[in-house]
Structure 1
Amino acid sequence: MADQTSTMPTAPTPIPVCKGEGYEHWSIRMKTILKSRDLWDLVEQGVNNAEPDEIKLKNVKKRDAHAMAIIQQAVHDHLFSRIAAAESSKESWDILKMEYQGDTQVKAIKLQGLRREFENLSMKDNETVGEYFSRVIGNVSQKRAYGEIISNQTIVEKILRSLSPKFDHIVPSIEVSFDLSKLTPVRLMSSLQS
């Protein structure tokens, strides 16, 4: 049977709109959308205006304008004025990034707060495994958005240490049954749910 997935039409990915809150999640979604359209490298590195091939430079600038149009669509009207004067997708992205993530010092402060929150996370008695995982992974996603490198093992160990007491009899069997250095959070969640 021939592969029909390449000929099947797909609906365009909806563009998430940033209203000023939830920048970390918005930026992750936007990176994925821009990567899927082969535009992220332009946003991240900018246009090389020293390109000697005029046709190639014109095509790159056209792709950059496409990336900038996507970014402009992805901000609420009250934020648009902040990037309206930007002349490239990189400039637009960097303006938003600076405003919502800040410079190195601001990032360090935000990361410190997220690390403290991560350390203090623990599963509530009335919370489901899925709800607790969502809280942990939400924190991890924010830290990763600020450049923090967090291994799966760190996440797995944190979750095992901070489960509610009703899981006290299950944790040792998971620690014996799995190599924690290779266990993914998704696999751990499925083990705990079953």
Structure 2
Amino acid sequence: MKNFFKAIGLWSTIDEEFEEPLEGITLMGDAAMQLEKKKLLDYKAHYYLVIKVELHVSKRYLHAKSSKEAWTILVKSYQKVANIKKEKLQEFRSQFELTRMRPTESIKEIFTRIEEIVNGLRANGEVLEKVKFVEKILQSLSLKFNNKKIILEATKDLSTLRLDDLQVGLVTCERSLNQQKDETMEDALQ
């Protein structure tokens, strides 16, 4: 945005505080023209600040008396947003690292949960490669999927493994394990 104001020749207006002359002082000639010119430039800069920034943000500095004051409020607002974004990013990173499959959780549920965390990371500026996502899914699996995990890591290139293929393979494995469990229960009951 700073470059925008430089390009239209208003940055010096924003960068320097505009001050009205004290009450009772009347300027004449060139001084009066200079004052009017500065006022006009300040109004233009303030106008561009309002129209260039989203409405919910510009409401914070609508009360500003000069474009310099509006700019200062805008900069402080974005610094707060950046700090909040960093905190959210830390929270999502922590969740990503600590996520493990729960005993009653299905493959679809763990995929969805990790996908939500990854979307949160990406929304807050984190660049996450697909291979990290694949590795995280495999790390998060419960012990009953250990054999499938070992086979996948040994036979597949994780950097080229598609998430859909991984999910289909794990859901198929889960279904097979559940069938075996059901058959074992039936045999035990007979």
TM-score, scaled relative to structure 1: 0.49
1:160 counterpart residue number:
138
1:92 counterpart residue number:
54
**Are 1:120 and 2:98 counterparts?**
yes
One-letter identity of the residue aligned with 1:111: L
2:110 counterpart residue number:
132
2:127 counterpart residue number:
149
Unaligned runs of 5+ in 2: 9-49, 59-75, 173-190
Q: Deviations over 1:15-41 (max 9, x none)?
A: xxxxxxxxxxxxxxxxxxxxxxxxxxx
Unaligned runs of 5+ in 1: 1-45, 51-85
Give me the whole-angstrom Cα distance separating, in 1, the residues matched to 2:92 and 2:143. Answer: 25
Give me the whole-angstrom Cα distance separating, in 2, the residues matched to 1:93 and 1:153. Answer: 39
One-letter identity of the residue aligned with 2:57: I
Please identify which structure carries the higher helix content.
Answer: 2
SS in 1 for 2:96: helix
Aligned residues: CA RMSD: 3.0
Shift in Å at residue 117 of structure 1? 0.7
Give me the whole-angstrom Cα distance separating, in 2, the residues matched to 1:165 and 1:175. Answer: 15
Shift in Å at residue 109 of structure 1? 1.2
SS in 1 for 2:54: helix
1:189 counterpart residue number:
167
8 Å contact kept, 1:111–1:146? yes
Q: Deviations over 1:158-178 (max 9, x none)?
A: 111110111011101111221
User: Which structure has the greater CA radius of gyration?
Assistant: 2
Q: Deviations over 1:35-80 (max 9, x none)?
A: xxxxxxxxxxx9xxx7xxxxxxxxxxxxxxxxxxxxxxxxxxxxxx
**What are the residue-to-residue correspondences of 1:1-194 with 2, within 5 Å?**
87=51, 91-92=53-54, 95=57, 103-194=81-172
Give me the whole-angstrom Cα distance separating, in 2, the residues matched to 1:139 and 1:95. Answer: 27
Shift in Å at residue 94 of structure 1? 7.6
Identity of aligned residues (%): 32
Shift in Å at residue 112 of structure 1? 0.6
Shift in Å at residue 189 of structure 1? 0.8
Give me the whole-angstrom Cα distance separating, in 1, the residues matched to 2:142 and 2:122. Answer: 26
One-letter identity of the residue aligned with 1:124: R
8 Å contact kept, 1:153–1:184? no
Give me the whole-angstrom Cα distance separating, in 1, the residues matched to 2:92 and 2:146. Answer: 26
